[in-house]
Amino acid sequence: MASAQAASAPLAGRRILLGITGSIAAYKAAMLCRLLKTAGAEVRVVMTPLAKQFITPLTMATLSKNPILVEFFNPENGAWNSHVSLGEWADCYLIAPATANTLAKMATGVADNLLLTTYLSARCPVVVAPAMDLDMYAHPATQQNLRTLAGRGVRIVEPAEGELASGLTGKGRMAEPAEIAGFVADLLDEKKKTLAGKRLIVTAGATIEAIDPVRFISNHSSGKMGYAIAGELAARGASVTLVSGRTALPVPPGVDRVDVLSADDMYEATVKAFDEADGAVMCAAVADYTPETVSDTKLKKGDGELFIRLRRTCDIAAELGKRKGNRLLVGFALETNDEEAHAQSKLEKKNFDFIVLNSLRDAGAGFRGDTNKVTLIDRSGREELPLMSKREVAARIADRIEHLFTR
């Protein structure tokens, strides 16, 4: 009975925020809303002011069973429509149709209406279904905006080819509502909890090695790659402990974060967590050296040179490699020369199941960006991935982790 009910209502209990922009394809939003509701979702609708000229708020309110949101506040009573609350409420923010104008504003961070400010506040997966004429869709600016959004993790339901409102024929017609609803259902499908029951550790971010109360030694790591991996593993059902150096990133949904500062702090927290874990992904940029002594007061500038004596930090990955047994261990290697040779050496010395290699010489890879270009290396060979968003890289790493657990 339960499985039959799940099959007929694949979005049961899910909260979908449907964004509608000013496109002739807005009429399809009515059917899309109905399909989402039929699949069991709770649907709320936010519209741009121009969208109201293509489909009425009354139609969408009737179908969604919720008031329609267009402005930041109700002009009659002053009630505030909080974009922050909307972004927190949704399990998925689906913008369909998404015009070239809206996509451009999303890519550049423009927030001049409720739909766009909600996008900037959303913590959930964001899906867009572009709809426009073929020349607008093919224009380099639109294609660059789509690449930018994809690099930030936005999912794109590709438009279809066919007759367009202009009378031309080509690619740009919004995908059919059934296809879009199916895309969202697949994205949120609970049956994909393939790592349920697994306890995994992810380390992320940079460590900070104090010199004195003011100065420290660190590196450029933003933590974005590790956070993307932690979020992806949690989305697949794993119980994830994220041991994190200092970062401004939000904690991914379903992840338990342990904050640390120094390499010694990260060593203690990670080794402790590993005792009860099924595996670990070592993504943090951990300092190899730390000051031998830390001054209690700020070091003053003198006339001569200043020398700081450094000591080796504990090698966290090597320690877990010794304790590993039959558990999973994934490493990372960021190199600037002889990349594969160094990665292969780390693979063996630290007893990794596989290692993720990226090079600072690859455009779009490395620190702080939203994209990465990596090579996955194990004892049987290598798989070089193209430049892709860090979320997509995280998904590919999670795929390999799943495979190793099911061997």
Give me the active site residues, please. Answer: 219
Distance CA 264, CA 209 (A): 9
H/E stretch holding 94 reads: strand 92-98
Which is nearest to 150 in space by CA: 142, 139, 160?
142
DSSP code, position 206: B
Angle, alpha carbons 261-249-99 (nearest 5°): 165
> What amino acid occupies position 128?
V
Give how far Cα 280 sits from Cα of 202, 265, 275, Å: 6, 17, 11
> What amino acid occupies position 396?
R
Backbone conformation region of residue 39, classed left if phi is above 0, alpha if psi is from -120 to 50, else beta: alpha
197 CA to centre of own chain: 22
85 CA to centre of own chain: 20
Residue identified by tokens 């925020």 is 17
Which is nearest to 243 in space by CA: 224, 225, 227, 221?
227
Tokens at 404, concatenated: 């190793």
